[in-house]
Structure 1
Amino acid sequence: MDRPPIVASVLYKTVVDAAGGHCQCHFEQPGGCGRNDHPVTGRSCYERPEYKKPLIVAPLDPDTPTHVAVTLGAEDLIVLCRACFTRRTNNRKKAREQAAAEQLAADVLF
């Protein structure tokens, strides 16, 4: 299930301002998209909204359920550009599908 981005205006502004107004995706940090070859910057993204679409504030843990995500404070959120958010969401979906397939294969009785 894809999760919508956090869009509470005061919280959004607080988190984006704390991030310096740029994407916080970094290959070696939690919450990132998993890409270690971002254009220009390599392991970090640093995309700014004036170049593309608005930044997205999302839970640091991509597996956080929506009903929990809306209760999180700024310390549990990360700012991502749309490309990193989409990549992270797709990577988690693939990982969940892979884990489910492996579990199904392990549960099959012959």
Structure 2
Amino acid sequence: MIRITLIEIASFLLPFALFMIWQRLSTRRPEAGRLPTLRLAAAGAGLAVVTMLVLVILDASRAGHEGERYVPPQNIDGRIVPGHFVPAEDDEDSAEPTGEDDAPQ
């Protein structure tokens, strides 16, 4: 949650930072203390809203769909297998590895 909050704050402050960099690098010197605060705030708010929508869309695309079951992350042979979705029709044992393959027949 804190990561999303930091992304939103950074996206709001980005126009201010870019303006300050442009002002420092510009050869033309504007009036001292003149800052288009309202325009920068509007651009920052717009960018924050767009960023929020993109984050929501990306999060929704990773979510499971109807008829899917979530398999949590697992530690298999010292390797972490991330959580994922599998079709609900699959047998529950097929989604989780068993040691039966290693047993002599």
The structure, 1 or 2, with the larger RCO (C-alpha pairs under 8 Å, 6+ apart) is 1
TM-score range, shorter chain: 0.3 to 0.5
Q: How high is the TM-score relative to the length of structure 1?
A: 0.36
Q: Give TM-score, length-normalised by structure 2.
A: 0.37
Higher strand share: 2
